[in-house]
Amino acid sequence: MESIPKHIIPKYNFFADSPRSPLQPPTYGNLITVLSIDGGGIRGLIPGTILAFLESQLQKLDGEQARLADYFDVIAGTSTGGLVTAMLTTPNPEVGNRPLFAAKDIIDFYLEHCPKIFPQDSSPFAPAANVVKSLMGPKYDGKYLHDIVREKLGETRLHQTLTNVVIPTFDIKQLQPKIFSSYEVKSNPSKDALLSDICIGTSAAPTYLPAHHFQSQDSTGKPIEFNLIDGGVAANNPALVAINEVSKEILRGNPEFFPIKPTDYARFLVVSLGTGSPKSEEKYHANLAAKWGILGWLTSEHSTPLVDIFMQASSDMVDFHIATLFQALQSEDSYLRIQDDTLSQQMSSVDVATKENLENLVKAGEELLKKPVSRVNLEDGKSEPAGTVTNEKALIRLAEALSREKRLRDMRSPSGNLATNQKKEECAQNNSTSKLN
């Protein structure tokens, strides 16, 4: 995060109150900036809290209009992370190049809408009723989720996001992942779906919400169908997918990345936000699981063990792989993974949307800021404190690095804010001089 030569970048952003320019391509900077948000249902409140803090630090540096989409080359999200990604990158129709949501709005959105997406039954017969219901169909009908997502995202399509996005899903008809990527949509129009359809698809967690079917069109107008479920079954932690999408663009010779090489992973600055997992003593035990049949694997108090295990394994494998890569490159500080593995069993659920549990998740996010940065121990695969620097302090440093990188690109790019304003000043000075003469 300290790799940008500070002496060539303006110390202050004199144009903080001017209209925000889009983030200029990496070819004008030193870094490729990636933000990744895991899946996890209502636990999206945890990364939501982290993102609100990060954006507030950027606003301290660059003005109140600063938004996360102004600083990241790509934002990736799976399931609930996909919804957060869309919220951060969908343009506000009333204010052209500004996002529909500020990061601080994510918490209020979840607190208001999660209880309606996942309505709770507090009757004493609820556990038995849920088991019976799970045998008949998904636990929730998804109607409210579909309605609110369509209402908020409207007719926005993938190519219209304010920065590049990557949202993994899984197509059950083709039995393969479907990655909705801003990079790919340029050459594959069939992926230019409505953001609302993509978000509904990536959130369709098996047993919880219904699978989602919709159609798009290829370049000839031929209909292309999608039969999607939660992207978490393939990539619950989409950080590696995002890195892969960027690497493919470099291989294709995309001029936005020149002269970066496909193996220049040290140029990446990756921020990966987890949604939390249960503390070790509350995870499943083999003695108990050995007795499970179909119902046992699909129904447990506050969880669906089979789904939880697949998605947690997916997230942890990605974390381990990226941590190994960056440690091998001696670039540990270029990868920041923020994850809480101390949640209670109820807090680690994806759908217990009671007022108390939702508020506890917000508190967990706030407490996570105060905890030390953790890194994967490559010997046993477990996360452990990497020192005394807290996640809060690491995010403050990250905000400074992102701000410097944006200003560097603005200064170097002919269409950046700094360059544009400098040209305006030069023109004004020339006009003034000519009038005097």
Residue owning tokens 């807090």: 347
| Distance between CA atoms of residues 214 and 300, nearest Å | 32
Instruction: Specify whether 105 is catalytic.
Output: no
Q: Per the structure block, which two tokens stand in for 287?
A: 């003695």
**Annotated catalytic residue, options 21, 70, 73, 79:** 79
H or E element at residue 367: helix 355-370
Residue of 70, 197, 230, 410 marked active site: 230
Q: Can 79 be counted among the known catalytic residues?
A: yes
Contact partners, residue 287, CB within 8 Å, separation at least 6:
none
Secondary structure E strands in 230-344:
268-273, 335-338
**Residues forming a β-bridge with 54:** none
CA distances from 62 to 20, 33, 342, 400 (A): 10, 17, 34, 10
SS3 336: strand
Query: How far apart are the C-alpha atoms of 205 and 211, rounded to whole Å?
Result: 8
Give CA–CA dist 253/262, Å, rounded.
10
What contacts 132, CB < 8 A, 6 or more positions away?
A: none
Element (H, E) at 96: strand 95-99
Q: Which residues are catalytic?
A: 79, 230
